[in-house]
């Protein structure tokens, strides 16, 4: 039995517990095995479930999700939005405070999930609904500005 890897010139052989590279005699055996009609196992996960790498991947996905939410509100990223925490402009300050409260709640929930992982919860898609959702926080109303030519009173240069 063989398992594919992200590198098409390398396969993994669980029986030998070894990586087999193209151009070796073991690769020739692998090619013969394929010609006999066998199929390798698909590429495995990038981490072992419930390992530090697994938890890091979930955390990275959570931060990508939070970044996409603040980008939709016109900020570059989480840090950019959070930098308005003490802004003199009320809307910016409220957005930053909603973000920080949400980010902190997400991080605390992720910590709880690491300490006591629920059975059967393995993927980001399964974790996301278990996290605090952005709409549960007091975000101010969004403001859309006419920044495209022809969408409002823009200067003609």
Q: How far apart are CA 27 and CA 32, in angstroms?
A: 9
Q: How far is CA 51 from CA 12, 56, 84, 129, 155, in A?
A: 21, 9, 35, 21, 56
Where does residue 31 fall: left (phi above 0), alpha (psi -120 to 50 degrees), or beta otherwise? Answer: alpha
Question: What band does 14 get if pLDDT is binned at 50, 70 and 90?
Answer: confident
CB count within 10 Å of CB 36 equals 7
**Greater model confidence, 139 or 156:** 139
- Of 10-19, 83-92, 95-104, give the lowest mean pLDDT range: 10-19
pLDDT of residue 151: 55
- Of 75-79, 88-92, 132-136, 144-148, give the lowest mean pLDDT range: 144-148
State pLDDT tens for residues 28-84: 999 999 999 999 988 877 778 889 989 999 999 999 999 999 999 999 999 999 999
pLDDT of residue 143: 79
The DSSP code sequence of 76-120 is SSHHHHHTTTT-SSHHHHHHHHHHHHHHHHHHHHHHHHHHSPPTT
Asked if 108 and 115 touch (Cβ cutoff 8 Å), the reply is no
Tokens 């996301």 locate to 128
């Amino acid at each position: 039995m063989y398992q594919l890897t992200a590198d098409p010139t390398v396969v993994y052989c669980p029986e030998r517990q070894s990586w087999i590279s193209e151009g070796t005699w073991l690769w020739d055996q692998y090619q013969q095995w394929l010609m006999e009609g066998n199929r390798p196992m698909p590429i495995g996960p990038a981490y072992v479930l419930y390992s530090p790498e697994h938890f890091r991947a979930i955390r990275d996905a959570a931060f990508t999700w939070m970044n996409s939410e603040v980008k939709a509100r016109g900020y570059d990223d989480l840090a950019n939005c959070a930098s308005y925490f003490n802004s003199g402009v009320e809307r910016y300050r409220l957005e930053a405070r909603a973000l920080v409260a949400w980010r902190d709640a997400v991080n605390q929930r992720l910590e709880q999930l690491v300490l006591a992982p629920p059975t059967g919860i393995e993927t980001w898609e399964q974790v996301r609904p278990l996290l605090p959702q952005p709409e549960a926080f007091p975000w101010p109303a969004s403001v859309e500005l006419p920044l495209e030519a022809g969408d409002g009173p823009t200067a003609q240069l």
